[in-house]
Amino acid sequence: MRLPLPLSSALVPAEPRVYDYLLGGKHNYQLDRVLGDRLVSTADWLPRAAQLNRAFGSIVVAHLARSGIHQFLDLGCGYPAPTFLAVPNPHEAAARIRPDARIVHVDHDPVVAAHAVAFLSGRHDEHGVVCGDIRKIGDVLADAEARKLDRDQRTGVLLNDVLPWIPDDAEAHQLLADLRDVLPAGSAISITHATADMRPAEARELAALYEQHGLAFRPRSYAEVRALLDPWPLAEPGLVPTGRWQAGPLHAQLPDAQSGAYAAVVLHPDQPRGNHA
């Protein structure tokens, strides 16, 4: 069963819905599927890359939970993963390691936020959902739902497949600077970021297709992504193609050139590297 199309969504596709379609989900409309099909006709590996990105999210949450982090801020959370992928969502991945883990999901799309609330049914006292603009992180953290996190405790922040949708470098830098100011020592940020380094022509075509449909999409080079992350120290293995950060089953199916993205975990500048080894 597909979602009915609300009037407010009738003009342009939305990135979370297109991503859901690439994953094989049902939280999308005809206009999202039209764009998704055009994207896949340009880069047939894109659905597998989306699956790899989603799998990375669960892998990195489990990694951070094992390092002692028990609360997470999921910025630009998007829709829950389709169940047939058998990929745990962030709060599920964290709970497998730390049953006491807490997570606050954040998205600017009110429909996405409403789905997050429904998905957390029965666990909403532990976890939170904020509908807000992550570029205004102070406002996000001031929300009553975000106050379910302890501001004095180490926090894992998820910025997976988010920064490419903030095309302005100054805004992207400011978001990371604001996070650096508000996070306590020992915190970490997970990022994945689309790049044109691996398949330049296809990446340019994908960006153009998004632009034609009213969506700003900015793949960045290795040097540009690394510059965004300064002065955050990189955890091992550094900034690498997504499947190489911690190889899983999907990596065997998808060469580096087709992941189309880099991944990294960066540590709070006041935190020694060894604590997240």
- Full set of structural domains in the chain with CATH: 55-204+214-271 (3.40.50.150)
Q: Where residue 257 falls among pLDDT bands split at 50, 70, 90?
A: low
Residue 210 has pLDDT above 90, yes or no: yes
**pLDDT score at 83:** 87
**What's this model's pTM, rounded to 2 decimal places?**
0.90
Continuous segment of H or E residues that includes residue 102: strand 102-107
**What CA–CA distance (Å, rounded) separates 265 from 156?**
10
Question: What's the chain's average pLDDT?
Answer: 88
Encoded amino acid at 104, one letter: V
What mean pLDDT comes out for the span 144-171? 96
- Give tens-digit pLDDT for 1-55: 334 444 445 578 999 999 999 999 999 999 999 999 999 999 999 999 999 999 9
Q: Can you give the pLDDT at residue 63? A: 93
Report the candidate in 80, 74, 162 with the shortest Cα–Cα distance to residue 114: 80
What's the pLDDT at 158? 98
pLDDT digits 0-9 by tens, 88-121: 999 999 999 999 999 999 999 999 999 888 888 6
Q: For 138-143, what is the mean pLDDT?
A: 95
